[in-house]
Structure 1
Amino acid sequence: MHDHTSPEPVALPLGGGISRADDHAFLQRLIRTLDSSHPAPDRLAASFLARFGSAGMALSAHVGALDEVAGRETVLPPLLAVVTEAALRLYRARVRRTDILAGQAGLEAYLQACMGHEVIEQFRVLFLDEDFHLLADELMGTGTVNHSPVYPREIMRRALKLGARRLVLAHNHPAGQPEPSSADIEMTLRIAQIGKLMQVTVHDHIIVGNGRTHSFRAAGLLI
């Protein structure tokens, strides 16, 4: 017989970072909530942290990767996928309400959640208005583990249709670090040059990889 009593709420710190102990407590509570009959939520929470590094990265992982840790006999992976989708929608709503310049950390966290565990390369574009508010977040290309096709003129055509004046480009490096390749830099500068002709500014290009992000603007590659 299993105890179906709701677990006590986990108090997370509102200021500053979230510790590994907080992440463990949160994951343990989430596992108990989604699967009250799970025999060892404490051990599974620890396994998620060992594999993914944090609760956030665990929740953004693919169902297949979650299956490898949780085991296929549990219902947890697909339920966690629903939780992840809910979190992404909350992130997206927050990004829409926030000036991108004032919310860089949140923007990078959102992109990490969207693409951090993708096994193929994706290229996204965030289309912004003059005041840096999000008009649309669209996937503009998918490819292989180390390449996704990018068509600058299609990006600009979409920007003009949306009335966007600024862009944030984003893609992931599934197989490595987030530092840009020479091809990444060349492609970004090409898009920026075409944008200038159309009065559309490439504000930043953010690469997601290996749990970290790389901002072209912060690195001085875009001015």
Structure 2
Amino acid sequence: MGLHGSPHDAPPAPWEGENGAAGMDDRTLLRHVIGTLDPRHADADVLADILLARFGSAGMVLSASPQELDAVTGMYPVLSPLIAVVREAALRLHRAYVRHGDALSGHRRIVDYLQAVMGHDSTEQFRVLFLDAAYRLVDDRVMGVGTVDQAPVYPREIMRHAMDLNARILILAHNHPSGDPMPSAADIQMTMHIEQIARVMGIRLHDHMVVGNGRSLSFRRAGLI
């Protein structure tokens, strides 16, 4: 063996264990993310603990907005934009899963995508997934952004966009910044209104999903539509 040893003698990377990165707990995963994004960071363990205390889980850290991350990582300005890049990569992976094949067969993937894209937002947004007659996702569009607890919804705009895309199936979605996914009376009334308009136009409302901070509710599974 030479002075530098054999590459086979090097200790295994943390993601090369029996279960790989999937076997890490959230703290370990965040510590390695921080160390990979900023190798010179001296307090990866401490920052991982701070991030978990603030956001609750590694998934919520990676889905947090740059402004929210800056409030925690302000003394380490390089981390926030780098975490944003990791988040965008994760979102694109989620979108690819949702767009592949029959969107209605992947309920868990849709929930995961919605949690990633808006589950931790501090303001409410209303989005619509537009599907064609073969259940393929043809568009995912934010149709309203509001205050901390309300987003404007315009059924006419939703139907116009559905007709432009020749979409035949809709999945509505919005987030509750409070984290409680239980729909309000206004949520239920608005959903019924959109369903009635869609039915007249030959479009099926498949579901309305509410997400917030890792929790979710499906109107269809809850028997609300």
Normalised TM-score (structure 1): 0.89
Cα distance in 1, alignment partners of residues 125 and 201 from structure 2:
25
Map Cα deviations across residues 15-36 of structure 1 (whole Å, 9 max, x no partner).
xxx67x5222221111111101
Conserved 8 A contact 1:10-1:25:
no
Partner of 2:37: 34
- 2:196 maps to which of 188, 193, 197: 193
- 2:153 maps to which of 145, 150, 162: 150
Q: Please report how far the alpha carbon of residue 48 of structure 1 lies from its aligned counterpart in structure 2 after TM superposition.
A: 1.9
- 1:118 maps to which of 103, 108, 121: 121
Runs of 5+ in structure 2 lacking a partner?
A: 1-9
Cα distance in 2, alignment partners of residues 220 and 104 from structure 1:
16
Say whether 1:10 aligns with 2:15: yes
Partner of 1:209: 212
Say whether 1:100 aligns with 2:103: yes
Give matches, 1:43-54, under 5 Å. 43-54=46-57
Cα distance in 2, alignment partners of residues 144 and 184 from structure 1:
15
Partner of 2:91: 88
Runs of 5+ in structure 1 lacking a partner?
A: none
- 2:186 maps to which of 163, 173, 183: 183
2:69 partner amino acid = L
Cα distance in 1, alignment partners of residues 12 and 71 from structure 2:
26
Cα distance in 2, alignment partners of residues 185 and 213 from structure 1:
15
1:8 partner amino acid = A
Cα distance in 1, alignment partners of residues 205 and 46 from structure 2:
45
Conserved 8 A contact 2:179-2:211:
no
Conserved 8 A contact 1:12-1:22:
no
Where 2:106 maps in the other structure, the secondary structure is helix
Where 1:82 maps in the other structure, the secondary structure is helix
Normalised TM-score (structure 2): 0.88
Aligned length: 215
Cα distance in 2, alignment partners of residues 175 and 159 from structure 1:
30
Q: Please report how far the alpha carbon of residue 49 of structure 1 lies from its aligned counterpart in structure 2 after TM superposition.
A: 2.1
Cα distance in 2, alignment partners of residues 127 and 13 from structure 1:
40
Once the two structures are overlaid, the 10-residue window that deviates more, 186-195 or 61-70, is 61-70
Cα distance in 1, alignment partners of residues 27 and 78 from structure 2:
20
Percent identity reads 56
Cα distance in 2, alignment partners of residues 152 and 201 from structure 1:
14
Where 2:134 maps in the other structure, the secondary structure is coil
Where 1:10 maps in the other structure, the secondary structure is helix
CA RMSD in angstroms comes to: 2.2
Cα distance in 2, alignment partners of residues 161 and 12 from structure 1:
50
Where 1:120 maps in the other structure, the secondary structure is coil
Q: Please report how far the alpha carbon of residue 190 of structure 1 lies from its aligned counterpart in structure 2 after TM superposition.
A: 0.5
Where 1:221 maps in the other structure, the secondary structure is coil
Q: Please report how far the alpha carbon of residue 53 of structure 1 lies from its aligned counterpart in structure 2 after TM superposition.
A: 2.1
Q: Please report how far the alpha carbon of residue 205 of structure 1 lies from its aligned counterpart in structure 2 after TM superposition.
A: 0.4
